[in-house]
Amino acid sequence: MRPVTRVLATLTVSALVAVGAVVPSAQAADGVVIWSDPGHAQTIRDMLSDGYKGTPVTVLEKEPADVRAELAGIGAKNAPDIIWGDLTWTGELAPVGLLAPIKLKKRIKSQFRANVLVGSVVQGEQLGLPVQISNLALITNTALVPTQPRTFAELSDVALKLVKKRKKVTIPFALAQGEGTSPWTTFPLFSGLGGYLFGRSSDGSINLADVGLSNKTFRANATQIDAWNTSGLISSKLTSEEAKTAFANGQSPFWLAGPESLQSLLDLTFAYRIGAVPPMKSGIKPAPLLTVQGFMKTKFAEKHGVEKAVDGLMTSFFARNAQQQKLAAVAGLYPANLQAAESVTTGGGRIRAIGNAGAAGVTMPNAPQAGVLWEPYAEAWKVSTKGAKATAAKKAFRAAQRTAVTALRGGDVPTG
């Protein structure tokens, strides 16, 4: 039986199997071990209190920040068979042999958006099962804007006119860009102009040779950012807190917010809509970034002789409507399973509306090298939207592209 280490307590058991040995399924008495964050652990335990098809299941609590390092150094006897975490980890853990691929049947795949599944593909193999999603959506004050703009040009026109006509409206678009914010907030506008982080290969994997910070389509549309800056629609000085406060006080007609702002939305005293950012250019859908959490199968499942049970959990049990809905509800997020998402009632339907607004979203890149893109990307937005002394967006993002590509070629990239 494998030793099982808990966060606050240790169960001391004898090790009957040598490290690396494959245990026949009939002898796998200690069953499947799952590492989960503390928030989801009890829900998973409740789901599998009687085990899975005759195989016992033990759920151990691990802080997300510790999982990758522990998995790399723990050794086979103490290792988990399934881990819960951010599915961007797949790009780091799979290449060093710590994860094993899963095979999702066509019927199961159809229950998930393709743009969500691809976020945990590495070298053409599915390495993660998505469970919950977070993204930004456009929040519109309906007292100020009774009819929803169909295009971003209409949104801009409405917002700027309100600033001119109403003394209380001082911020046309509450888009956080200032200190304490991240590229997460501006990405829907960037993607709406044709920008992207990395392209993908034909097998769905990240293509590190295709950096899209200054791709041809975006360069052709970059002057739109200059126009937004000149008109005052957006400003790099606006912080996240200022954006939230401005919208809540009726000082701004539009705000970008996600599920983490649910309480702020519930506290609003006026009516509002939740939807997707409208298109800026014909044929291009603005795509918010998606963070996706879920399950990953480790290479140790085979060594422990529980691979059949693990595959059943990963490709069937945890993919089901009921399980996905319960797990996503723990964090107040949108389930990855589309049937489960239709029944979400969290926040009086607000979480469902936010999740639906991310239908065209782009998953956070599951390549560790993506870390070299964020700083130059953020700097390009900052200098091109800082008012009268702004740098032309085309020039700013071209510089960002050069910085990122140089770092990638030089190997100066983060490893985690």
Question: Smallest Cα–Cα separation from 10: which of 57, 75, 58, 82?
Answer: 58
What's 137-287+367-410's CATH class?
Answer: alpha beta
Q: What is the 3-state secondary structure (H, E, C) of 282-318?
A: CCECCCCEEEEEEEEEECHHHHCCCHHHHHHHHHCHH
Residue ranges of the chain that CATH labels 3.40.190.10: 4-134+292-359, 137-287+367-410
pLDDT at residue 251 is higher than 70: yes
Classify domain 4-134+292-359 at the CATH topology level.
D-Maltodextrin-Binding Protein; domain 2 (3.40.190)
- 262-317: pLDDT as tens digits: 999 999 999 999 999 999 999 999 999 999 999 999 999 999 999 999 999 999 99
Q: Which amino acid, 106?
A: K
Containing H/E element for 217?
helix 216-221
Q: How far apart are CA 247 and CA 174, in angstroms?
A: 7
pLDDT, tens digit (0-9, with 9 covering 90-100), for 312-360: 999 999 999 999 999 999 999 999 999 999 999 989 999 999 999 999 9
Phi/psi of residue 381, nearest 5 degrees: -65, -40
The mean per-residue pLDDT over the stretch 74-81 comes to 93
> 198 in helix, strand or coil?
strand
**Nearest-angstrom CA–CA distance, 147 and 384:** 30
Q: What is the pTM of this model?
A: 0.90
58: nearest Cα among 73, 80, 39 = 80
The CA distance from 198 to 183, in Å, is 15
State the DSSP code for 343: T
* pLDDT score recorded for residue 30: 81
At 58 the three-state DSSP class reads strand
Closest to 62 (Cα-Cα) out of 2, 123, 5: 5
